[in-house]
Amino acid sequence: MVPVILLTLALLWQIVLVGYTYTLAGNAADEAARAAAVGGDCGEAALRHLDGAWASGARPHCSKGGGMVTAVVTIDVPLLVPGLGSLLPVKAEAAAVDEEDLGR
């Protein structure tokens, strides 16, 4: 019975890590979009809000068009322990009005 309990706990922990990674990716995408909307560095803003294993596997990307700035941040979900390896990528997207475009 002990192995079943340990496996269940490991699976629950992995689910927690997936959820936390989605939360971090969404926040990083929001911050990247806000920074890019006012002329800041999209990638630096996204990475500033990530730590450790999540920052090392993060891939931020921003694009402008139609008066909007769109930020997409992809982060690898850690496998059981951050830094041990990655399980799958999680992608979050955020958009903001391009405030630099408004001033023209």
pTM: 0.83
Structure tokens at 77: 């979900």
Interatomic CA distance for residues 61 and 63, integer angstroms: 7
88 token code pair:
């799958």
Full pLDDT tens readout for the chain, 104 residues: 999 999 999 999 999 989 999 999 999 999 999 999 988 888 899 999 888 778 887 899 999 888 899 999 999 888 877 767 777 889 999 999 987 766 55
Backbone angles phi, psi at 8, to 5 degrees: -65, -45
User: Whole-angstrom Cα distance, residue 90 to residue 94?
Assistant: 14
